[in-house]
C-alpha cells in the first residue's frame, strides 16, 4: 500500500513532531510512508472564511499531489473533513469536469489518522507505552464532522500504562473555530475559559486530540492560566514508547 | 418588490455581532442564567429523543417534507388558500412587514365592536408578528397588543427584547422575573400579589391572575401558526400554557399571521412534526396543548378567521438552493439550546428576532447581506465556530454549518474583494499554493517567533493579533518545519 | 399585480430548478413506538401520569363511583357538563351540573368541567378532544380550572400516526397532554398557568383490570 502523509500546512509549520509521530507509528506497524513535497494546504482557512475561489487552486494541488497514492493519511480531523466534504463541493462549483473526477476518485482514499488505523489497518494496539494520566478532547470535526466516535478512545485504551480520564462536557466546542477566534475573540475566549476549567477539573497531566489547532487554542489558554496540563496530539501518544525496549 | 429595510426582522442600530457579544459577555448573571437553562433543556431533549429509536428516520422524513414543500410552495399555498376559504376562513397575502401590519390593523378596526373593544388585542406568541414588528405598529394606531405567553409577558412588561425563539425571556432568572412582576404588573392591569415569591409556580399564578380578564373580554386575537395543512386548511398552534387556547377560542375574531414556509402538504404529515417538535423544543413527549382548526366552526370559537400569508424576504431565501433549507425551520430552538456561542452571548447579541444558529442563517437571508442593515446581519454567518452541534440537534436536518459557510462566501462576495482581509487571503492563497513560498514563510515564522517568544511561548501582542494573544499563549514556531526535517532525514524517502 | 400574484410569481421564479414530479418522500419511521405485545392502555395511563395528571382506571360499572371519587378528592362541586355527555354516568350526590348554554364568565365561575374525549395517544400520554358529543365546545374544557376527562380504552391509539388517522381535521381539535404548564422560567417545567391546572383522566376498560 502506497501511503502518503498529508500533514497539513499548520502542522508542518507549527507541529512537526506530530508528523514524525504519524510516520513512526505507521512504520512501527510495518508500512512505508511518503511525504510528497508538493503538498501544502487543504484550503480550509479560505473556505471557512468565505474566500471560496481562493481555495480552488489548493483543491487542484491536493488532487494532483496525492493522485497516485493508495491512502492519504492526515493527523487533522478538520482538514480531513474539509477535504472529504468541501473539495467535491468546490470542484463542482468552480473546477472543470476533469478535476471534479479526480477529486471524486481520491476522496475514498483520504483518511483521518485514527480512522486509518482502526478501519483501514484494523489496528487498535500500536505498541505504545505512555505512563501518564490523559484526557481526550473530541474536537468538533472529529466528533460531529467525521464521526470518529469510539475510535480514538479504543486506541488510547490500548496504550500501555495510560490512564484515561473524562473531561466533563467533553463534547462542547472549545471556541477555536479558525478565524472565529480572531473575528469573535471575546466569545472565543469565554468558551476557552470554560473549556480550560473542565480540562483542569478532569485532573489529567496531558490533554490530547485529533486536531492540533484546537489543542493550540486550549493549550494556550491553559498556559496563560498557569496550568501544568500539557497538550499533545493523539499521534504523539501513540508514538510514545516510554521505557519500552526497542 | 420590497426594500429589505421594510422587513423588520433586525433591530435597527444593532452593532455587529462581535461588539454586541463583547457587551453581553460582561454580564455574569446573564451567562449564569443561560448556562443553567440550556443545560436543563439539553439533557431533557436528549433523553426524550433517545426514546424514539427511529429519530433519524423521522428527521429524514421531516427534512424531505419541508424541502419538497419549498420546491412546490406555489402549489401548496394555493391549495391552502382554497381549503381555508372552503372551511370559512379568509386568506390575505402580504408581501412584506408593512403590508402585513396594514392588513392586521385594518382587520382589527373592522371588527365592528365599540371603540374600547377595538383598542385591544390578545396575542399568542408568534415569531412572524415579532418579525414584522406588529405590536409597535398597532400601538402607533392606538391598539394595545397584550402578549399572553408567560415569557412574552415578561419581555413586554420589562420593555425588553426577546432573546430566544421558544423562551424569549431565557436571559432572566426567577428572581429578576419576580422583581419585574412586582414592579410592573400593576401598571398594565391586575397587580402581582403582595409578597410574591420567586417560586416559578407563584410567578405562573401571578401571570394567570394578571391575564385572566383580558382573555375573557378580548374581541380579537392575533396568533402565529406552527403548521398549516394544504389539503385540509387545518392550522395548528403548539403551546404549553393554555394562553394559546384562550386566544384561539374565546375572541370573536382570530387573525393568524403565518410565514409562507409554514405550509405542509397534508394533515397526515403532522405525524412526523408532532413527534419531532415537542421533543426538540421543550424536551417533552408532547407539549401540553396543541390546537388545530380549519376555518370556523358554528358555535365553537371565533366566528371570523383571517389567515395572513407573509413573504417578507422568504421568496428571496427560497431563490438560493443552498440557503433555502433554512425555511424548513419549525422554530423548536434546539439549535439555540445546544449552541456554545448562544450559551455565552445570549440572543440579544444577534440583533434580530431570530437569534442563535438558525438566526445566523435566517436573518441575513431575510434582510440580505448587502443592504443598509448589513452591518449586523452580515456579521452573523461568522458568529459560529462551525462546531456542528446545531445540525445534529435540528429535527428537520437543516445543515446550518453548510449554510453558514455558504453565506460567508456571499458576504465576502458582496464586499467585492476590497477589504484588508481579502487582500491578506489572496496573499495567503499565493503562499499556500507554492511549496517554495510556504517553506520561506515557515522560515520567516520561525525567526519571528524567536523574536517574540519568551521561554518558547509568545504572550500578549498588540495590533491585529491581540484578540488571539489576549487570552492565549502561543508556542513559538519550531526552527525546523516538518518538510525541512523530511528533506534532511528522508532524502529520497519515497518508497 | 396583487401581492398574491407577486408572491406566487416570485416563488415560481425562485424554484424554477424544482422537478415537476418528485420521488416519494422517505417514510422509514415507525408507525408506532409501542413495544410489540405491550399494553397501550397501561402505557397511556403511565404517560399521562408522567405529566403530573391524575389517572384512574375503572370498568363501565365502576365509572359513576370513580367520577364521584375524583370530584370529591378535588373538592369540585359546580361542574360544566357538555351536551351529549351521557346523563346516566353522572353520579348521584351534591354536585351541581351546569349545562350549555354557558357564557364564558359563567364557565369561569365553575369549579371544573367533565368531558369525554375522541382519541388517546399511548406513547405521548395525550388526549384529543374534537368538540364532538360529550366534549363541548373548546372553551368548556379550558376556562374552568379543573378538567375531568373520561376516555374508553378502545379510543386509545398506540402512537401519533394512528391517532391522526382516527381524527377528522374538519373539526376543531385540542390535543391535551397533562395540565397547563410552562417552561418559560429557566426552561424548567412547572404546571399550572392559564389552562386547567388540574387534569384527571379516567380510563374505562371493558373489565376490572387485574
Secondary structure of residue C43 in the 3-state scheme = helix
Q: What is the pTM of this model?
A: 0.95
- Domains belonging to chain B, first-starting first, are 17-314 (3.40.50.10420), 420-489 (no CATH)
* Cross-chain Cβ contact A19/B486 below 8 Å: yes
Question: Which of B385, B412, B486 is facing A175, going by the closest CB pair?
Answer: B385
Least CB-CB distance to C175: which of B61, B243, B286? B286
User: Residues A41-85: pLDDT tens digits?
Assistant: 999 999 999 999 999 999 999 999 999 999 999 999 999 999 999
| Mean pLDDT calculated for residue range A141-158 | 97
Q: Which of A22, A51, A81 to mutate to test the interface with B (most CBs of B within 10 A)?
A: A51
CA dist B105 → B96, B251, B296, C165 (Å): 14, 16, 21, 38
Question: What is the reported pLDDT for A244?
Answer: 74
What CATH number has the domain bearing residue C177? 3.40.50.10420
- Evaluate if residue B374 carries a pLDDT over 60: no
Confidence check: pLDDT of B392 > 60: yes
Is residue C151 in a domain? yes
> Which candidate, A201, A205, A242, A8, places its Cα nearest to that of A113?
A8
Q: Name the minimum distance, in Å, from the CA of B173 to any CA of chain A.
A: 21
Query: B17 CB near a chain A CB, below 8 Å?
Result: yes
Mean pLDDT for the stretch of residues A178-195: 96
Q: Mean per-residue pLDDT for C82-93? A: 95
What is the distance in angstroms between the Cα of B359 and the nearest Cα belonging to chain A?
17
> Quick check: is C85 in a domain?
yes
| Chain B residue with the nearest C-alpha to that of C30 | B54
Tell me if C28 is assigned to some domain: no
The whole-number pLDDT of residue B493 equals 46
- Distance (Å, rounded) from C-alpha A210 to C-alpha A139? 7
ipTM of the complex: 0.96
Structure confidence at residue B3 (pLDDT)? 54
Q: Which domain holds residue C138?
A: 39-204
A191 at interface of B, judged by CB pairs closer than 8 A: yes
CB spacing of A223 vs B457 below 8 angstroms: yes
Distance CA C119, CA C122 (A): 10
Provide the pLDDT for residue B1. Answer: 44
Residue with cell 422517505: C26
- Answer yes or no: is C149 within a domain: yes
* Closest residue to B344, CB basis, from A39, A190, A217: A190
Tell me the average pLDDT across A233-238.
98
Confidence of residue B118 (pLDDT cuts 50, 70, 90): low
Q: Domains of chain A by range and CATH? A: 3-120 (no CATH), 133-239 (3.40.50)
Chain-chain contact of C172 with B169 (C-beta, under 8 angstroms):
no
In a domain, C162, yes or no: yes
Q: Provide the pLDDT for residue B465.
A: 80
Examine residue C34 and state whether it is found in any structural domain, yes or no. Answer: no
Task: Measure the CA–CA gap between C89 and C86, rounded to whole angstroms.
Answer: 6
Nearest CA in chain C to B210: C194
Phi-psi region of B76 (alpha: psi -120 to 50; beta: other; left: phi over 0): alpha
d(CA A225, CA A177): 21
**C190 to chain B: closest CA residue:** B201
> Given C6, C138, C165, which is nearest B249 (Cβ)?
C138
Q: What is the pLDDT of residue B370?
A: 73
**What's the rounded Cα separation, in Å, for the pair B163 and B309?**
25
Give the residue from A50, A148, A185 with the most B CB atoms within 10 Å of its CB, the best one to mutate: A50
Specify the residue for cell string 510556504: B438
**Whole-number mean pLDDT of chain C?**
95
Question: What radius of gyration do chain A's Cα atoms show?
Answer: 18
Contact across the interface for B267 and C126, Cβ inside 8 Å: no
Mean pLDDT value across residues A162-171? 96
Flag whether pLDDT at B454 surpasses 60.
yes
Q: Does B439 reach chain A within 8 Å, measured CB to CB? A: no
d(CA B344, CA A190): 7
In terms of CA atoms, which chain C residue is nearest residue B66? C25
Residues of A whose CB is below 8 A from B486: 19, 35, 37
Query: How many domains does chain C contain in total?
Result: 1
Residue C128 inside a domain? The answer is yes
* E strand or H helix at C162: helix C160-165
A and B: touch, per 3+ CB pairs < 8 A?
yes
The residue among A138, A167, A150, A179 whose CA lies nearest residue B386 is A179
The percent helix, strand, coil of chain C (3-state, each to 5) is: 30, 25, 50
Q: Give the separation between CA C109 and CA A233, rounded to whole angstroms.
A: 70
Mean residue pLDDT of chain B comes to: 93
Asked if the C-beta of A67 comes within 8 angstroms of chain B's C-beta atoms, the answer is: no
Q: Tell me if chain A has a CB within 8 Å of the CB of B426.
A: yes
Q: What is the pLDDT of residue A246?
A: 53
Give which of A4, A16, A23, A181 to mutate to test B binding, by max B Cβ within 10 Å. Answer: A16
Residue at C141 is within a domain = yes
Amino acid at each position: 500500500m502506497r501511503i502518503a502523509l498529508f500533514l497539513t500546512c499548520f502542522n508542518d509549520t507549527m507541529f512537526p513532531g506530530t508528523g514524525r509521530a504519524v510516520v513512526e507509528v505507521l512504520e512501527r506497524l510495518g508500512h512505508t510512508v511518503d511525504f510528497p513535497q508538493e503538498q501544502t494546504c487543504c484550503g480550509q482557512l479560505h473556505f471557512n472564511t468565505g474566500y471560496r475561489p481562493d481555495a480552488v487552486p489548493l483543491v487542484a494541488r491536493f488532487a494532483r499531489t496525492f493522485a497516485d497514492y493508495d491512502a492519504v493519511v492526515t493527523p487533522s480531523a478538520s482538514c480531513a473533513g474539509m477535504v472529504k466534504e468541501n473539495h467535491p463541493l468546490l470542484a463542482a462549483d468552480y473546477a472543470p469536469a476533469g478535476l471534479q473526477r479526480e477529486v471524486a476518485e481520491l476522496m475514498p482514499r483520504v483518511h483521518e489518522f485514527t480512522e486509518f488505523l482502526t478501519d483501514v489497518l484494523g489496528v487498535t494496539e500500536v505498541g505504545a507505552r505512555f505512563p501518564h494520566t490523559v484526557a481526550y478532547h473530541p474536537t468538533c470535526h472529529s466528533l460531529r464532522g467525521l464521526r470518529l466516535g469510539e475510535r480514538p478512545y479504543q486506541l488510547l485504551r490500548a496504550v500501555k500504562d495510560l490512564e484515561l480520564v473524562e473531561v466533563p462536557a467533553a463534547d462542547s466546542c472549545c471556541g477555536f473555530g479558525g478565524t472565529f477566534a480572531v473575528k469573535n475573540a471575546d466569545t472565543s475566549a469565554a468558551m476557552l475559559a470554560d473549556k480550560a476549567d473542565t480540562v483542569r477539573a478532569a485532573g489529567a497531566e496531558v490533554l490530547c486530540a485529533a486536531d492540533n489547532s484546537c489543542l493550540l487554542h486550549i493549550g494556550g489558554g491553559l498556559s496563560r492560566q498557569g496550568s501544568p496540563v500539557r497538550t499533545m496530539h493523539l499521534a504523539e501518544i501513540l508514538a510514545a514508547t516510554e521505557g519500552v525496549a526497542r | 418588490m420590497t426594500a429589505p429595510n421594510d422587513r423588520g426582522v433586525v433591530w435597527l442600530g444593532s452593532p455587529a455581532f462581535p461588539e454586541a457579544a463583547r457587551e453581553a459577555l460582561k454580564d455574569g448573571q446573564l451567562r449564569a442564567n443561560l448556562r443553567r437553562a440550556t443545560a436543563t433543556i439539553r439533557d431533557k431533549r436528549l433523553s426524550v429523543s433517545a426514546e424514539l429509536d427511529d429519530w433519524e428516520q423521522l428527521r429524514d422524513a421531516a427534512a424531505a417534507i419541508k424541502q419538497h414543500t419549498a420546491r412546490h410552495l406555489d402549489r401548496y399555498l394555493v391549495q391552502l388558500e382554497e381549503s381555508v376559504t372552503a372551511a370559512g376562513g379568509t386568506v390575505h397575502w402580504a408581501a412584506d412587514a408593512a403590508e402585513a401590519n396594514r392588513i392586521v390593523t385594518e382587520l382589527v378596526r373592522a371588527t365592528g365592536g365599540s371603540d374600547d373593544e377595538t383598542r385591544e388585542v390578545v396575542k399568542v406568541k408568534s415569531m412572524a408578528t415579532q418579525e414584522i414588528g406588529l405590536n409597535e405598529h398597532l400601538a402607533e394606531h392606538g391598539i394595545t397588543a397584550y402578549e399572553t405567553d408567560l415569557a412574552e409577558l415578561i419581555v413586554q412588561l420589562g420593555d425588553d427584547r426577546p432573546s430566544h425563539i421558544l423562551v424569549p425571556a431565557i436571559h432572566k432568572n426567577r428572581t429578576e422575573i419576580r422583581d419585574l412582576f412586582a414592579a410592573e404588573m400593576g401598571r398594565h392591569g391586575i397587580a402581582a400579589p403582595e409578597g410574591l415569591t420567586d417560586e416559578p409556580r407563584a410567578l405562573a399564578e401571578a401571570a394567570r391572575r394578571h391575564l385572566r380578564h383580558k382573555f375573557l373580554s378580548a374581541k380579537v386575537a392575533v396568533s402565529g401558526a406552527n403548521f398549516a395543512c394544504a389539503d385540509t386548511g387545518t392550522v395548528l398552534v403548539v403551546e404549553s400554557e393554555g394562553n394559546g387556547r384562550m386566544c384561539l377560542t374565546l375572541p370573536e375574531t382570530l387573525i393568524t399571521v403565518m410565514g409562507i414556509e409554514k405550509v405542509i402538504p397534508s394533515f397526515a404529515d403532522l405525524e412526523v412534526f408532532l413527534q419531532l417538535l415537542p421533543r426538540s423544543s421543550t424536551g417533552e413527549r408532547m407539549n401540553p396543548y396543541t390546537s388545530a382548526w380549519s376555518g370556523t366552526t358554528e358555535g365553537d370559537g371565533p366566528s371570523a378567521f383571517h389567515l395572513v400569508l407573509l413573504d417578507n424576504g422568504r421568496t428571496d431565501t427560497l431563490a438560493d438552493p443552498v440557503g433555502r433549507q433554512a425555511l424548513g425551520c419549525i422554530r423548536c430552538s434546539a439549535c439555540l439550546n445546544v449552541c456554545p456561542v448562544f450559551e455565552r452571548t445570549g440572543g440579544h447579541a444577534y440583533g434580530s428576532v431570530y437569534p442563535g444558529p438558525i438566526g445566523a442563517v435566517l436573518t441575513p437571508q431575510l434582510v440580505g447581506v448587502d443592504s443598509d442593515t448589513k452591518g449586523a446581519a452580515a456579521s452573523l454567518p461568522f458568529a459560529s465556530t462551525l462546531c456542528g452541534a446545531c445540525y445534529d440537534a435540528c429535527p428537520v436536518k437543516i445543515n446550518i454549518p453548510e449554510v453558514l459557510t455558504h453565506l460567508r462566501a456571499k458576504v465576502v462576495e458582496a464586499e467585492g474583494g476590497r477589504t484588508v482581509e481579502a487582500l491578506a487571503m489572496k496573499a495567503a492563497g499565493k503562499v499556500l499554493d507554492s511549496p517554495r513560498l510556504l517553506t520561506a514563510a515557515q522560515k520567516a515564522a520561525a525567526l519571528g517567533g524567536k523574536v517574540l517568544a519568551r521561554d518558547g511561548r509568545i504572550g500578549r501582542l498588540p495590533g491585529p493579533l491581540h484578540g488571539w494573544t489576549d487570552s492565549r499563549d502561543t508556542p513559538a514556531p519550531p526552527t525546523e518545519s516538518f518538510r525541512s526535517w523530511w528533506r534532511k532525514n528522508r532524502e529520497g524517502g519515497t518508497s | 399585480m396583487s401581492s398574491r400574484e407577486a408572491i406566487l410569481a416570485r416563488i415560481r421564479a425562485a424554484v424554477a430548478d424544482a422537478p415537476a414530479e418528485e420521488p416519494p418522500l422517505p417514510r422509514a419511521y415507525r408507525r408506532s413506538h409501542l413495544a410489540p405485545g405491550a399494553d397501550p392502555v397501561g402505557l397511556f395511563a403511565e404517560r399521562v401520569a408522567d405529566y403530573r395528571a391524575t389517572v384512574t382506571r375503572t370498568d363501565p360499572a365502576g365509572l359513576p363511583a370513580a367520577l364521584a371519587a375524583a370530584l370529591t378528592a378535588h373538592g369540585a362541586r359546580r361542574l360544566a357538563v357538555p351536551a351529549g355527555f351521557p346523563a346516566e354516568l353522572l353520579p348521584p350526590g351534591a354536585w351541581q351540573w351546569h349545562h350549555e348554554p354557558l357564557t364564558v364568565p359563567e364557565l369561569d365561575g365553575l369549579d371544573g368541567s367533565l368531558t369525554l374525549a375522541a382519541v388517546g395517544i399511548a406513547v405521548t400520554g395525550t388526549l384529543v378532544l374534537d368538540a364532538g358529543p360529550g366534549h363541548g365546545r373548546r372553551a368548556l374544557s379550558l376556562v374552568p380550572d379543573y378538567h375531568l376527562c373520561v376516555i374508553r380504552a378502545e379510543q386509545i391509539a398506540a402512537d401519533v400516526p394512528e391517532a391522526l388517522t382516527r381524527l377528522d381535521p374538519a373539526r376543531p381539535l385540542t390535543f391535551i397532554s397533562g395540565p397547563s404548564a410552562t417552561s418559560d422560567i429557566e426552561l424548567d417545567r412547572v404546571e399550572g398557568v392559564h389552562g386547567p391546572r388540574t387534569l384527571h383522566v379516567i380510563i374505562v376498560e371493558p373489565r376490572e383490570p387485574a
